[in-house]
Structure 1
Amino acid sequence: MTDFSARRRIMVDTQVRPADVTKFPIIEAMLAVPREQFVPDALREAAYAGDNIELGNGRVVLEARTLAKMLDALDVRGDELVLDVGCALGYSSAVIARMAQAVVALEEDEEMASEAQDQLVNVGADNVVLQVGTLAEGAAEHGPYDAIIVQGGVGELPVALTDQLKEGGRIICLFMDEALGAVRIGYKTSAGMSWRFEFNAGAPVLPGFQKQRAFAL
């Protein structure tokens, strides 16, 4: 029988800590949340490998290093409301739930959303609200948000998401340009959005987040 708790410790010690992620809430959450419960049954043995986990249709569970570094930059606090865009089977939402006051987990694939709901209940993540809806439209009815995180590649960021940030709030995205991806964090001010580069990573671009081609005559 696989000792998944041991694999979780190895994941944190070999993928998360060496990436300069040292904030206790992130380490604690990643040690506590059973990642193997948030992937398809056939991939449970691969749940702790240091790669994105393919879910089909261009969707992935982000590798632990990428998610941890995104959360490190986002610096979620215990009194904050977070929108988790593209939560898939719910792993990221379960992790964030241990750091935030509340999480809105947004997923447009109804089958994945149903599975996510079951697993979030199983791990006791009772401060997560699962919302089924179009990823690019966000979940304005629950906002505005202190922080937003996007669980996949972004070609172009829909304005709807930054509109749902509180002033002073922040959003973190993995912007993909061909095969190269750059994680950037954006801060919302009265003057608009201010962006800062964090690190390089990669993931498929989410549906609705493709870069719009410029129209030339």
Structure 2
Amino acid sequence: MLKSPNQQQTAQFSRSLFMPSETQDGCDYNGLRQNMVDDQVRPVEVNDPRILTAMRTLPRELAVPPAERGFAYADRTLPLGDGRYLAQPMITGRLVQSARISAGERVLVVAAGTGYLASVVACLDAQVVALESDSALIAQGHAYTEQVAPGVLWYHGPLADGAPENAPFDVILFDGAITDIPAFCIGQIATGGRVAGMMSKAGGTCSSFLAEPDQVITADGSAGAFEGWAIRLGFDSPAPLIPELLPAPAFAF
């Protein structure tokens, strides 16, 4: 359901996250941010100027727990708590670029966490809905986007259900790795839409993917029955799994 976090929670996180961080620990976060883009993001062929500008501007250090802020611009995945992570910068940049998001498109970010990826997408002039099931993360994420990307709309509910009240979406983007495309996607994707994220493969490796519905075309030229996903794989990289979207363990005697 559409839901804003408890106002007291949001105010609490706003105070803790948005005090001027340079004055708290003496770090030159702006310099580190520019180095992150120049040394990690541009070398992996992220060349969309909208994405580069967003990642040079958005305060990534405020999207992680205070204990992790010193590593916010390092080439590493950072823990957010309860098995959830913020992906390393180069994955974020390459993933957003591979999704081919145009201005004005409606984008659902699944497992939005503290809102960093959703904010990058919002900087592309997309209409962003951030789906999150964890109450603590949604409070932090709402506080973050309220400051840096106020157009992001948060949706609180199970990740496996999507955000039906806001569908259809031109792009459904997963902020983390999955093993299969959840069933809700076919019912919430717009005609001509696509699903993007990281797909976990056997052996623990992950590949980026872009998927479009494979549907029968009827005699009048309209889309008919859904027959599966046409999936194109892209770059390989380790990526954190989204625990809530893992398949249930098989029962064995």
Please, what TM-score do these two structures have when normalized by structure 2?
0.81
> Using the alignment, how far apart are the partners of 1:91 and 1:117 within structure 2?
11
- Residue 116 (structure 2) pairs with residue 131 (structure 1): no
Alignment of 1:1-217 (within 5 A): 1-123=26-148, 125-177=149-201, 178-191=203-216, 192=226, 193-212=229-248
**Could you report, residue by residue, the CA deviation over 1:94-141 in whole angstroms, capped at 9, with x for unpaired residues?**
111111331000111001101111111122x12110111111111011
Q: Distance in 2 between matches of 1:101 and 1:12?
A: 22
Which one is further off, 200-209 or 7-16? 200-209
2:95 maps to a residue whose letter is M
Runs of 4+ in structure 1 off by over 6 angstroms are 214-217
1:90–1:117 contact (8 Å) kept in structure 2:
yes
**Mapped partners of 1:100, 1:206: distance in 2:** 26
Structure 2 unaligned blocks of 5 or more = 1-25, 217-225
Contact 1:154 1:175 in 2 (8 A): yes
Identity %: 31
Equivalents in 1 of 2:193, 2:135: separation in Å?
A: 29
Q: Which amino acid aligns with 2:49?
A: F
How many angstroms apart in 1 are the aligned matches of 2:141 and 2:119? Answer: 9
Tell me if structure 1 keeps the 8 A contact 2:79–2:86: yes
Query: What SS does the aligned partner of 1:179 have?
Result: coil
d(CA) in 1 for partners of 2:250, 2:76: 33
Separation of aligned partners in 1, 2:144 and 2:240: 24
Change over 3 Å in CA distance of 1:150–1:38 after alignment to 2 = same
TM-score, with normalisation over the residues of structure 1? 0.93
Look up the SS of the partner of 1:152 in the other structure.
Answer: strand
Secondary structure, in 3 states, of the residue corresponding to 2:245? coil
RMSD (Å) for aligned C-alpha atoms: 1.7
SS of residue in 2 equivalent to 1:121: helix
- Secondary structure at the aligned position of 2:243 is classed as coil
Aligned length: 216
CA distance in 2, matches of 1:81, 1:158: 19
**One-letter code aligned to 1:12:** V
Take 2:143 and 2:64, find their aligned partners in 1: how far apart are those partners? 12
Helix, strand or coil at the partner of 1:190: strand
Amino acid at match of 1:5: N
**Which one has the largest radius of gyration?**
2
